[in-house]
Structure 1
Amino acid sequence: MVNKTIFIMSILVFTFLFGTGYNAETGAYSICQAQAETGVSVGKEMPTFTANNLNGENVQVGGTGVPYVLNFWATWCPPCKAELPELNEFANAHTEDVQFYAINIEESENTITDFLQNTGYSLPILLDADGSISQEFRVRAVPTTIVVDSQGVIRYRKTGGVTKEELENVLSTL
């Protein structure tokens, strides 16, 4: 009986300490409102990062205001090649309302430029030359696509090929 009482009291104390917030100005505890923590999974606030584009310019990605689509890919990846026509179409159709970035992982600028010239794609490309961005986002396979809402919260994540229709459906729910 004593162990059960101690267990229940421990749960109550834990809930009070970690399920509430202390306001130093008022000296009062209050129930914490759910806020998205920074992370790389659905429901988390997307971490911001900076990467170079193919023109050598630093591009800041993240924040709030507009939705983002991040697509991690490589030129040697067959599923990436298969989805690129639809991604290119989606990105071109949503230049005004979505920030789209095709993030190439660990390939040279020449390889990417040659690939784009041969295929005719005009996607906004960011370079993850050392793989640090894909590591931060825990990308384990390519392609991986992440959709972030205008508040900066990740709302969709998929490993494997994605279609324009899938992205349109996700976008319609934001």
Structure 2
Amino acid sequence: MTRLRSITRYLAALVCLGAALLLLAHTGMPQRIEISRGAPGSGAGLAIGLPAPQFELSSTSGETIALDSTAGAATIINFWASWCAPCRREMRELQQLQSQHPDSLRVLAINMGESADLVAAWQREIGISYDLLLDPTLAASQLYKVRGLPTTYLLDGRLVLRKVYYGPVSGRQLEDDLQRLARRV
């Protein structure tokens, strides 16, 4: 009888573990998705093919930068934090992209809630020359419905949202998508 209980408990634990793994596998967030097109005014939030929400944030140099100042160039908006290891790897690749496309690409990396001093020190340490913006109240993060880090948005020169990447994205993937974007113009 005791042995039967032990086997039953063991099988119940295996079933629970299997169910948890199945749930995790089906609810995990994909690394890259294209958000379905929403109807204007539908309240659906961010949608591919619609204008990106406008914001104005301070940079680590104290300059105020508005999204509309990047119009005319493809824009990458990257939400990040210094404690996020994938964010750090991604930022180096974003630096390479910005260096390769100085006239046709603008990178805006928005830090989520960390101090200006910490972000500026990190920028110097890593050697990032593109704009690191501060979002101390997380207003821009909420506007863009950021659910995890890193989250990256690709906009065309008219500041229309073209692609969203949840989780790390490679420089190669961004380069490919920038090339596709350039062919659409």
Q: Deviations over 1:80-136 (max 9, x none)?
A: 112121111112222211121011110001111121222222231111111000000
1:28 matched residue in structure 2: none
1:36/1:45 contact within 8 Å kept: no
2:67 matched residue in structure 1: 61
1:14 matched residue in structure 2: none
- Of the three residues 27, 37, 41, the one matched with 2:47 is 41
2:94/2:107 contact within 8 Å kept: no
1:115 matched residue in structure 2: 122
For the residues of structure 2 that align with 1:164 and 1:97, how far apart are their CA atoms?
16
For the residues of structure 1 that align with 2:117 and 2:71, how far apart are their CA atoms?
32
2:148 matched residue in structure 1: 141
Q: 1:36: Cα distance to partner?
A: 7.4
Equivalent residue pairs, number: 141
- What is the aligned-residue RMSD (CA, Å)? 2.1
For the residues of structure 2 that align with 1:36 and 1:95, how far apart are their CA atoms?
34
* Aligned positions of 1:56-135 closer than 5 A: 56-62=62-68, 64-135=71-142
Change (3 A) 1:78 1:65: same
For the residues of structure 1 that align with 2:78 and 2:87, how far apart are their CA atoms?
9
Q: TM-score, normalised by structure 2?
A: 0.70
2:50/2:161 contact within 8 Å kept: yes
Structure with more relative contact order (C-alpha pairs < 8 Å, separation 6 or more)? 2
- Higher helix proportion (structure 1 or 2): 2
1:36/1:153 contact within 8 Å kept: no
Change (3 A) 1:97 1:132: same
* Aligned positions of 1:6-17 closer than 5 A: none
Equivalent AA in structure 2 for residue 168 of structure 1: E
Large movers: runs of 4+ above 4 Å: none
- Higher strand proportion (structure 1 or 2): 1
Structure 1 unmatched ranges of 5 or more: 1-34
Q: Deviations over 1:60-81 (max 9, x none)?
A: 1037422211000000001111
Q: Which moved more, 1:134-143 or 1:160-169?
A: 160-169
Change (3 A) 1:37 1:45: farther
Q: TM-score, normalised by structure 1?
A: 0.74
Q: Which moved more, 1:118-127 or 1:46-55?
A: 118-127
